[in-house]
Structure 1
Amino acid sequence: MTSKLIVLTECFIHRSSTHEYSIRWTSIGSDNSPPLIFVHGTPWSSYVWQRYVEALSLRHKIYIFDNPGFGESPGGRPLQAPTSTDDKISEFDSSLAGQAEAFAALYHSWNFTSDRLPHIVAHDNGGLITLRANLLHSCRYASLCLVDVVAVRPFGSPFFRLVAQNSSVFTSIPDTIFQGIVRAYIQDASFRPLPKHVEDTLVKPWIAGGSQGQVAFIRQMVQADQRHAEEVEGRYAEVGSAMPVKVIWGKDDRWIPVERAEKLASMVGATEVVLIGEAGHLIMFDQPERLATEISIWLMEASR
């Protein structure tokens, strides 16, 4: 695998009934290879998957992107001016329902055919995004690999819920102090200390001068509503009956307990569940070789 930074060279515009989204994305690999989409969660970006892309692109046409309001993709732009004095956070749409709708629009723009459906690898709330896109927005997949995902209620770490419930307090924190909070939060997602360059890259969008900023960091926590899982949880079995599903989880995930893996696997009817030791929520940095092996094996099996 490589640490080379992959540039998101393309931009897709999606307009919902309330917002306009500009989604940065790119694809790598031969057009004749089976398609594979990597989906990140929060507060991450496509960067968490980039170490895997070059190796897997030898056998797959890979699509990666930054969700709206993450990485290089700006937050949703309201199509109309606010009609009240609501908090500025509410002017932008970072909800999981909105993220799923935007992903579905991007997915359909790629014009996959029924005989060449993409495989999906999703992390964190990328799990709920791809599940909703399948169940509510007609996005069909060849297979689905769910890695430490947000999909089953209740979700969100204690800090996540604290920020969501006290957004005005965290919005007013000075930049230097807020940067320390974000760093500590991201460090907690990993079982092992993150390399300094990895931590800096993950933190950069959310601090002063970054592509998103402090308000955006808080916004995505405020709008991660549990109801967006509640709306589809009862239908997860439909996903497992339509395609093979694999669940991969870090045994030492402090954000989403490992017990959630078995519950999700049961709900969706997963073909396989793999629990990986000495791995936290950022399993792709804690156990990169093991995760790459599990994904590669899955893709080979699911392609048969």
Structure 2
Amino acid sequence: MTSAFTSNNTALTQTFNYQNATHSYTIKWRSLGNPASPPLIFIHGTPWSSLVWTPFALSLSRHFHVYLFDNPGFGESPLEIPLPGTTTSSEPSNSRSSKITQLDADLARQSQVFAALFHYWQASDTWAQSPHIIAHDHGGLMSLRAHLLHNCHYASLCLLNVVAIGPFGQPLFKAVADNPEQFSQLPDIAIDGILESYIRNASFYELSKQDMQMLKEPWLREGGKEGFIRQLCQANYRNTDAVEGRYAEVGTKLPVKIVWGKQDNWIPVETAYRLGEALRAKEVAVVENAGHLVMFDQPGQIGVELGRWLGAV
């Protein structure tokens, strides 16, 4: 049986190229629905791709112009490419601060690329109104950085089990970040086992074989092992210093909703209430029998929550 989270109708068929002072990027994306409908952007987190949004994007494209994309180094979008003769840090290349900068620990580069893509869509499709944003995991921090630092204006913001307020970290993140070279030398079968265990820990219910394979597949391709290790290192050093002190501004400018799987093993449910207070959210909805992959554990309830929210804002 085909999973609801896989569909050729959401294949990323468009390409956006972007270059900043240090890197070049190729982002795969697509849109669904009537371009005259209100815009709606889905942002995925790590180690996922835009495929986590498939059934919701298809359903909501009946009423919205839906945008999907894969972040640099995730899903169908390749890793960013450093420009010749550029460096990302003035520190020695083997220093911890240099490695953190190279790994884009605070998601600065990914957020900058998203903001550039956002403004490209805005200009190309001549939006009549600002888009609604639905974000998961580190997509939450990306959306907040883009709004507060890169002049991206939203009609509303709905955040599902997001990375947005500290403290962060898991033992696996620290272990990999402290010894990335050792992990990169592990055989592929060992990395496959770590990857599967990592993904399994994100859900409350056992994932179907189809969904597990879909979530693993980008990291099993050539170069995927290095990309997976990179994102684990990145997760260990993520921070919100540039924006967390300004979160109260967000709720005064636009409606915010927080949705959280109560049994999240990665980010405890208490974080939902702390984040809701910091952002001055209009609503915090806690979903029972759901983990970090709340959209897989309770797709029906998430569909209802998103529909109610978008119908009210």
Per-residue deviation, 1:85: 6.2
Aligned with 1:46 (options 37, 44, 50): 50
Structure 2 distance, partners of 1:16, 1:282, is: 32
Cα distance per residue 1:114-134 (max 9 Å; x no partner): 751000000000000000000
Find out whether 1:162 has 2:175 as its counterpart.
Answer: yes
- In structure 2, the CA distance between the partners of 1:92 and 1:215, relative to structure 1 (3 Å rule), is farther
Aligned with 1:198 (options 211, 214, 232): 211
Aligned with 2:40 (options 30, 36, 43): 36
Find out whether 1:274 has 2:285 as its counterpart.
Answer: yes
Per-residue deviation, 1:54: 1.1
Aligned with 2:64 (options 36, 40, 60): 60
Find out whether 1:138 has 2:151 as its counterpart.
Answer: yes
SS at match of 1:107: helix
Structure 2 distance, partners of 1:261, 1:225, is: 20
Structure 1 distance, partners of 2:241, 2:102, is: 22
Q: Indicate conservation of the 8 Å contact 1:251/1:258, yes or no.
A: yes
Aligned with 1:180 (options 193, 209, 213): 193
Structure 2 distance, partners of 1:13, 1:179, is: 31
- In structure 2, the CA distance between the partners of 1:11 and 1:260, relative to structure 1 (3 Å rule), is same
1:150 match: 163
Structure 1 distance, partners of 2:141, 2:236, is: 11
- In structure 2, the CA distance between the partners of 1:32 and 1:288, relative to structure 1 (3 Å rule), is same
Find out whether 1:255 has 2:259 as its counterpart.
Answer: no
Aligned with 2:110 (options 91, 99, 103): 99
Q: Indicate conservation of the 8 Å contact 1:69/1:94, yes or no.
A: no
2:256 match: 245
Find out whether 1:235 has 2:239 as its counterpart.
Answer: no
SS at match of 1:194: coil
Aligned with 1:20 (options 21, 24, 29): 24
- In structure 2, the CA distance between the partners of 1:153 and 1:90, relative to structure 1 (3 Å rule), is closer
Q: Indicate conservation of the 8 Å contact 1:75/1:93, yes or no.
A: no
Structure 2 distance, partners of 1:219, 1:30, is: 37
Bigger CA drift: 155-164 or 255-264?
A: 155-164
Structure 1 distance, partners of 2:7, 2:238, is: 38
- In structure 2, the CA distance between the partners of 1:47 and 1:126, relative to structure 1 (3 Å rule), is same
Per-residue deviation, 1:246: 0.1
Per-residue deviation, 1:159: 1.6
Give the count of matched residue pairs: 300
SS at match of 1:223: helix
Q: TM-score, normalized by length of structure 1?
A: 0.93
Aligned with 2:141 (options 128, 153, 175): 128
Q: Indicate conservation of the 8 Å contact 1:8/1:65, yes or no.
A: yes
Cα distance per residue 1:39-59 (max 9 Å; x no partner): 000000001001211111000
Structure 2 distance, partners of 1:262, 1:194, is: 27
1:80 match: 84
- In structure 2, the CA distance between the partners of 1:30 and 1:187, relative to structure 1 (3 Å rule), is same
- In structure 2, the CA distance between the partners of 1:91 and 1:271, relative to structure 1 (3 Å rule), is closer
Find out whether 1:118 has 2:131 as its counterpart.
Answer: yes
Identity across the alignment (%): 48
Q: Indicate conservation of the 8 Å contact 2:161/2:292, yes or no.
A: yes
Per-residue deviation, 1:4: 2.0
Structure 1 distance, partners of 2:255, 2:49, is: 26
1:4 match: 7
2:7 partner amino acid: K
Structure 1 distance, partners of 2:149, 2:65, is: 25
Bigger CA drift: 212-221 or 74-83?
A: 74-83
Per-residue deviation, 1:166: 2.1
Per-residue deviation, 1:67: 0.3
SS at match of 1:147: strand
2:256 partner amino acid: V
Residue segments in structure 1 that go unaligned for 5+ positions in a row: none
SS at match of 1:234: helix
2:74 partner amino acid: F
Q: Indicate conservation of the 8 Å contact 2:133/2:157, yes or no.
A: yes
Structure 2 distance, partners of 1:188, 1:157, is: 12
